[in-house]
Structure 1
Amino acid sequence: MKNLGLMGALIAAIALTGCLDNGGGTEVKQDLNNGDFSVITEPETGSGGGSNGGSSEEGSTGGDNGSGGGTTTPSEPDGFDINKGATLTASTSLNLDFYPPFHTAYTKVSENESCGGGAWVDYADSGTLLSSKTNQNVPVSVQFRDHDGRTSSCYVRRIYIDQIGPDIVFAKYPSAPVEEGLDVELIFTVTDAGAGVASVTCSMGSSTKACAAGQNKILLPKLAGGDYTLKVSATDKLGHASEKSISFKVSSMYKQMVNNVKVNEYQKVDILFVIDNSGSMEYEKKSMASRVRNFLDVVKGLDWQIAVTTTDPVHKTLGDGRLVQLYNKPGQYILTSSMNDTDARNTLSSTLQRSETGSGSEQGIFAAYRAIERSLSASGGNANFIRNDSQLAVVVISDEDESANGAKNDPANFVKFVADSFGSQKAMSFHSIIARPDDQACLKGEGYSAGFRYEQISKLTGGVIGDVCASDYAAQVQGIAEGVRKTLKSITLTCAPVVDAMRSILVLKDGQVYDGTRKMEGLNLVFDQMLPQGNYEVYYSCIK
């Protein structure tokens, strides 16, 4: 490296500043917390406790679906009932009592809503059906026939078979080590679509407190250094139990970091759109094409590639990070800046306008992670999408938060994956058009749930956070497109730098101090001007 003497002096100056901390005085002790916490709950609405049971046809009856099958026996039975009128059970063995409308000789029982597929058997007043389905609302239909061949109407009843504990999903939690003495907030939800949630307990170390069904917010003020695990245990009204935990570290130690980045003048950027194609996005999907119509106008002049995938984590052609085929272009998956402007604009709008209904387990971060993995392995349509000498921008449009907690769903892991895969050479921004956590109007309207993790990863990478409920995305899309341009003036750091009286960020270009005006946006060090071509070194400090 050029100018080793200057570099040594600069690093020595940084080290000396750290040594002079506190001026040799007495260390100020803080009153720190070792794990005690408070709980704020927002009760669930419209889920569990039998909300899925009880619909019927042809005179069927509803009922209380309390623990183990509360009953509401009809005063004038018509057709049949299940488990004496219960709408909830923990067993797949269903007891049927028959009430035919006429003197009957034969009965047919089907596990569907159409009385199709069952077999006629000699009539008896009662019988047992061993269901093939669990953890869902199960339809059962019955028909009767007499010796003369007269057939009754098709009677339908439903019962929810619940054999699993409540679902526990962490929405907000520390994705990186927390500095000692700071406050920590964790948010999770507990739901149960069948029996409903009976009890929830939260524990951290020796502290245990009651939580509740619905959203829970855990507040931990001024944490001391150490490893922490929040464990959430829940049971439903049938006694089924589940448990999940999240762990994080609190540290007061810092690590010295350096990023070595080679900057070219190609102005290349690869842009991945991740579209929520689930059923809850029906309203937003209707006008998706018109909402993003102005995107290409703002990125004009760049050497861009654009591709589209969906939030569906499992579909074998449209999910798991696979790029979707461009509209009306068989075998093509990637738009490029070399295309005709009108053709590119129409193709992008039509490709973003999804007509299918994908999985309700929306996972936009996971989809972006898998799309990059598939590009790196040159898999299918993803081959050649992520170029080695380009920057990267991801745009997620979703009305619901990331719905799983695996390693590939985690914002910090995603950023680290990109850095590791490309040797920290690729600047990256993640933009989100979501139901923003503080937007009550959207959350009470078309926004299905708050996008906590999308907000987190956008803040982490200096991305734009837009409003999925907006009738027109034009202004938001322009902001995102401008954010994509900004990525070309950025260096993405490996971790959040600490800047204070002792620590600063030092940038060298070809061994000389580079003093171009810049600011931090999440993990992105964004410069006011395009970086001149050269070899850059960025020195900074992070919390370990």
Structure 2
Amino acid sequence: MRNLGLMTVLLAGLMLTGCLSDNGSTEVPSTGLNNEDFSVITDPNPPPSDNSGGVVTPPGTEIEGFDLNKGAVLTASTSLQLDFFPPFAAAYTSISEDEKCSSTAWRDYDDAAVYSSVKKNQLVPISVRYRDDDGRLSPCYVRSIYIDQIGPNIVFAKYPTAPVEEGADVEIIFNVTDDGAGVDAVECKFAGISKACGAGQNKVIIPKMAAGDYTLSVAAKDKLGFSSSGSISFKVTSLYKNMVHNVKVNEYNKVDILFVIDNSGSMEYEQKSMASRVRNFLDVVKGLDWQIAVTTTDPANKTYGDGRLVTMKGLTNTYILNSGMADATSRTVLSNTLQRTETGSGSEQGIYAAYRAVERSVAGTNANFIRNDAQLAVVLISDEDESANGVKNDPSNFVKYIQTQFNGQKAMSFHSVITRPGDEACLKGEGYSYGHRFAAMAEMTGGVIGDVCASDYSAQVQGIAEGVRNTLKSITLSCAPIVDVSHEVVVKKDGVIYTGSRQVQGLNVVFDQMLPAGNYEVNYSCLK
């Protein structure tokens, strides 16, 4: 670790360049480590979120029915001011917190009232109906207002998921949005130095990093004064550590396959033909002892979210398909199950969903899905990126959890069919936002990165299925091995050097042939 005083001196010279750009990144030439510039590129118009919130058009100058908060479209209070303008001499008024005047409670008419909403941080509809003494009813009048009591949403899309080698450049991408009041101010702070960032998508580029521990923190305030903050930390090191990984390999050919499907509203186009897009998957994994389950990217729904397995369409109380079922039945059931009809949360969290699905399997909630003697493959299909930054949304934490939970004995691969970073044609078409973290998850585990905008998934499904087969020929390590002239990966089987052809793919050592049963030892080096 470098002297903190030296690091402070080096960082004190950092300058921030703020500019607007629609593509690319800014390269800052440097002759040393951390003694030049780091830049922030801010795009104020990132792909919109899938949230349904937003402000509404204020009522016209001629008020009909009632006025809500004097025509305001935004408020920080759940206490709403209603001024009534009935079309006749009203004796009673009913107020409903919906668009249908569903309330059956009537109150004596007064010219105004204060209504306390039970909702917040969303667009709230209020409807009013009048009745006179003769029982005549007015039309149902509707107004809406956005109640905003939280600060802007800060989501880190791209950041180092493993230690960075000294001298390398670091790129961090984060988004700052606010569906209610809108973003008023954003500040990012790196190594204690405050710099101005902006609303929308920000790309921070830090060149030629010196060894040390770093944190980029972001603070944002909306136009109602509500604040929020977030941060991401990473390590830069030039030191290596020697690792030994022991695993017992059997010849069971068992693999548990989890599909994580984006069922948000933005996936409507892709969902229309999902069944035909994945029709050939089972043909490629034929011959393996497989199990398949499906969950969604919804992080909260109590039926199909938070890592819960969904029921297999066409089968009764069945949540898992297996290779012992009839081929035609399995193919039809899987295709129909992957094609979701519900509309799930716009806060897509595919990594979180996979993490929770495994947790639930270990706890017995998703009973019998994760087998101790089977490898694990995850197949994610989404047009957006991971939408939160919790512990279970992080790629490296998910890998670490699998390693710890199964004592390093389970190989894992994660395959992502996404809006691939840099694919502008997809982003401008049906892709909603670049899947930076899903791509990192795939790269980390040697998985396939597919194109969610493709009209036919058959070719990439073929590749993913082959990747699932490769999982059975893999050993997943606890950190990414260094492979250069000074470091190599040495594999021993039952104490003897194993010379089978192999390649390193992220955390996975993938062999060309199935490994014979035995006790294997892998010696390798990683960055600290």
Match of 1:42 in 2: 43
Tell me, what secondary structure is at the counterpart of 2:465? Answer: helix
Alignment of 1:70-81 (within 5 A): 74=61, 76-81=62-67
Q: Does 1:292 align with 2:278?
A: yes
Q: Distance in 2 between matches of 1:431 and 1:240?
A: 38
Deviates more, 1:183-192 or 1:145-154: 145-154
Match of 1:17 in 2: none
Tell me, what secondary structure is at the counterpart of 1:520? Answer: strand
Deviation (angstroms), 1:386: 1.9
Contact 1:36 1:207 in 2 (8 A): no
Amino acid at match of 1:42: D
Q: Distance in 2 between matches of 1:478 and 1:327?
A: 23
Q: Distance in 2 between matches of 1:148 and 1:182?
A: 80
Match of 1:228 in 2: 214
Match of 1:470 in 2: 454
Tell me, what secondary structure is at the counterpart of 2:125? Answer: strand
Q: Deviations over 1:459-487 (max 9, x none)?
A: 00110011112111111100000111111
Q: 1:403 to 1:35 in 2, by over 3 A?
A: farther
Amino acid at match of 1:43: P
Q: Distance in 1 between matches of 2:89 and 2:440?
A: 66
Q: 1:114 to 1:441 in 2, by over 3 A?
A: same
Deviation (angstroms), 1:118: 5.8
Deviation (angstroms), 1:199: 0.8
Match of 2:442 in 1: 458
Match of 1:154 in 2: 140
TM-score where L is the length of structure 2: 0.89
Match of 2:3 in 1: none
Match of 1:65 in 2: none
Q: Distance in 1 between matches of 2:355 and 2:307?
A: 7
Match of 1:200 among 175, 186, 192: 186
Deviation (angstroms), 1:513: 1.9
Tell me, what secondary structure is at the counterpart of 2:396? Answer: helix
Deviation (angstroms), 1:35: 9.6
Q: Distance in 2 between matches of 1:152 and 1:389?
A: 68
Q: 1:404 to 1:35 in 2, by over 3 A?
A: farther
Q: 1:351 to 1:105 in 2, by over 3 A?
A: closer
Deviation (angstroms), 1:146: 4.1
Match of 1:66 in 2: none
Deviation (angstroms), 1:305: 1.6
Q: Does 1:375 align with 2:361?
A: yes
Q: 1:461 to 1:165 in 2, by over 3 A?
A: same
Amino acid at match of 1:141: S
Amino acid at match of 1:261: V
Q: Does 1:166 align with 2:152?
A: yes
RMSD: 2.2
Q: Distance in 2 between matches of 1:35 and 1:200?
A: 23
Tell me, what secondary structure is at the counterpart of 2:102? Answer: coil
Structure 2 residue runs of 5 or longer lacking an equivalent are 1-29
Match of 2:484 in 1: 500
Contact 1:30 1:181 in 2 (8 A): no
Deviates more, 1:141-150 or 1:166-175: 141-150
Q: Distance in 2 between matches of 1:529 and 1:237?
A: 60
Contact 2:312 2:333 in 1 (8 A): yes
Match of 2:503 in 1: 519
Q: Distance in 1 between matches of 2:113 and 2:362?
A: 58
Deviation (angstroms), 1:147: 4.5
Deviation (angstroms), 1:122: 3.9
Q: Distance in 2 between matches of 1:495 and 1:412?
A: 9
Q: 1:359 to 1:506 in 2, by over 3 A?
A: same
Tell me, what secondary structure is at the counterpart of 2:32? Answer: coil
- The count of corresponding residues between Structure 1 and Structure 2 is 497
Amino acid at match of 1:462: G
Larger Rg: 1
Q: 1:47 to 1:239 in 2, by over 3 A?
A: farther
Match of 2:34 in 1: 33
Q: 1:47 to 1:452 in 2, by over 3 A?
A: closer
Q: 1:139 to 1:331 in 2, by over 3 A?
A: closer
Contact 1:35 1:204 in 2 (8 A): no
Tell me, what secondary structure is at the counterpart of 1:478? Answer: helix
Q: Deviations over 1:408-445 (max 9, x none)?
A: 11111111111122222222110011111212222222
Q: 1:150 to 1:305 in 2, by over 3 A?
A: closer
Amino acid at match of 1:355: T
Deviation (angstroms), 1:188: 0.8
Q: Distance in 2 between matches of 1:118 and 1:53?
A: 28
Q: Deviations over 1:160-186 (max 9, x none)?
A: 111111111111111222111111111
Structure 1 residue runs of 5 or longer lacking an equivalent are 1-28, 62-73
